[in-house]
Structure 1
Amino acid sequence: MTTSDQDRISSSVVPDELRLNVLPNFLGCHYLKGESLVYDWAGRLCTAYRGGYWHFFTLSNGGFYMAPAELGRVAVRWHLNGYSDMMGADAFGVVVTLFALCHLAEQTLDDTIIGRYHQLREFACQHVEAANILRAID
């Protein structure tokens, strides 16, 4: 299946001066827990992750994700599905944000959070590392 340019979901990095409102806008009252889950999942999925600055991205379909700024390619491993491979920092951010949104949706049962997960997954299917991302979250 090919995606036309008009159907392609684009991502845009959020400028530093607008970062403060990103998570409250996308996660509502769950933004602190959501942010914490992103960092927690990063540590669970990548033993080399030691914290650092993260970029925030908005998606043209209304979604968002976070990705570490200072990581190159990283080894990602999730024992519950047997996934183990290398991926770039952007793909890692998509994976981590998907895990965090799924976890947050399960805890809150909030339809908005569930919608954010599906918006990001739609973008993940078009990502240059889509096959790797989808294997990691399977």
Structure 2
Amino acid sequence: MTATMSLTPAPFPANTPNAPEAITVITLPDEQRINFWPRYFGNVRQWVFLEPQVFSWLDLWSADYQGGVWEFHTLSNGGAFLTPPDCDHYHLFNESNGNEAILSTEATGIAICLMAWSHHACRTHCESMSEHYYRLRDYALPHPESRSIMHLID
């Protein structure tokens, strides 16, 4: 049995005294892409395998993905992630847990990178890769598509 999620979480009240500061995202211009991997992941064991792993995860999870140029993003908390070529939506199916979701381009990139970062951290036993996972997760949790992202990678 598969389940499709497209729920949006209740927003965290902005006027709450303990509300966390919003994490912001910056899309890197083309001229900064060459330094992305060594700058943000240079201290991660076997970081050169990360980019093809990201592409492979989306290829495995979505028939909508046909290759193309990905965007590189950095987060104000030190995290980073990629997004696939812009598309109205991506229909993703995780065979490992039977869950599926229809996500925006950004949410697709977040879900795919969370999966890739998690698997790479487990495979390499690299603490700095785990930190990248948690930084991206912190950005994903208040995201409008958070429930669908987490359902997919659960």
Task: Name the CA distance, whole Å, in 2 between partners of 1:40 and 1:26.
Answer: 20
Structure 1 window deviating more from structure 2 (80-89 vs 109-118): it is 80-89
- Partner of residue 69 from structure 2, selected from 48, 53, 58: 53
Aligned to 1:81, what secondary structure does the other structure show? coil
Structure 1 window deviating more from structure 2 (4-13 vs 111-120): it is 4-13
**Distance change >3 Å, CA 3–CA 108, structure 1 → 2:** farther
Aligned to 1:24, what secondary structure does the other structure show? helix
Q: Does 1:80 align with 2:90?
A: no
Structure 1's consecutive aligned runs of 4 or more residues displaced over 3 angstroms after TM superposition are 3-6
Q: Does 1:133 align with 2:143?
A: no
| Superimposed CA distance per residue, residues 88-122 of structure 1 (whole angstroms, 9 cap, x where no aligned partner) | 11100001101111111112111110100000011
Task: Name the CA distance, whole Å, in 2 between partners of 1:6 and 1:80.
Answer: 33
Q: Does 1:26 align with 2:72?
A: no
Aligned to 2:151, what secondary structure does the other structure show? helix
Alignment of 1:60-99 (within 5 A): 60-99=76-115
Name 2:12's counterpart in structure 1.
2
- AA in 2 matched with 1:96: I
Q: After TM superposition, give the deviation of residue 81 of structure 1 in Å.
A: 1.5
Q: After TM superposition, give the deviation of residue 6 of structure 1 in Å.
A: 6.1
TM-score (norm. length: structure 2): 0.83
- Partner of residue 119 from structure 1, selected from 132, 135, 143: 135
Name 1:12's counterpart in structure 2.
26
Size of the alignment, in residue pairs?
138
Greater gyration radius = 2
Contact 1:24 1:30 in 2 (8 A): no
Q: Could you tell me the percent identity over the aligned residues?
A: 30
Contact 1:52 1:70 in 2 (8 A): no
Task: Name the CA distance, whole Å, in 2 between partners of 1:61 and 1:125.
Answer: 14
Structure 2: segments with no counterpart, 5+ residues:
1-10
Q: After TM superposition, give the deviation of residue 2 of structure 1 in Å.
A: 1.6
- AA in 1 matched with 2:109: G
Contact 1:54 1:66 in 2 (8 A): yes
